[in-house]
Amino acid sequence: MIWGLLIWLAVCAWEDVRKREVPNGLTLPMLAGMTVWRVFHPDAGAFMLAGVIFVMGLFGLLPGGDAKGLIALALFSPELSVLALLMAGVVWLGYRLFRHRKAPGFAGFLTGAILYLALRR
């Protein structure tokens, strides 16, 4: 399952870097799938973190595509989503310092997921 998630993140990161936008056709199916999966594998922490990210998106603290992606990651694994958010912050800082433009959030999410996978081994 983690490999499918990595492939999805890579496609979303590519779209985010290329177009500065991640289409709903990429984010909504994963969000729906992770919601259904989490209903059958309950975890209160995952639902609470997904709720916090949802509220952050409602208040405009996260762009829509990034919020949907992070909610899907939180439903899959709260630890992975926290690491993905931290790595998105690192990527954002690098972009602001060296590229002087808006950073693609999904590039950080992908980096965080790869780091999460490396730390799990």
Six token digits for residue 94? 């690098």
Six token digits for residue 12? 């979303």
CA gap 66, 53 in Å, rounded:
10
Residue 17 Cα to chain centre, angstroms: 14
| Count of beta carbons in the 10 Å neighbourhood of residue 84 | 28
21: left (phi over 0), alpha (psi -120 to 50) or beta: beta
Percent helix / strand / coil, the chain, rounded to 5: 85, 0, 15
pLDDT in tens, 18-60: 998 999 999 999 999 999 999 999 999 999 999 999 999 999 9
Mean pLDDT across the stretch 7-28? 94
pLDDT in tens, 60-74: 999 999 999 999 999
Q: How confident is the model at residue 95 (pLDDT cuts 50, 70, 90)?
A: confident
Residue 20 Cα to chain centre, angstroms: 15
Instruction: Evaluate whether 74 touches 83 at the Cβ level (below 8 Å).
Output: no
pLDDT of residue 99: 73
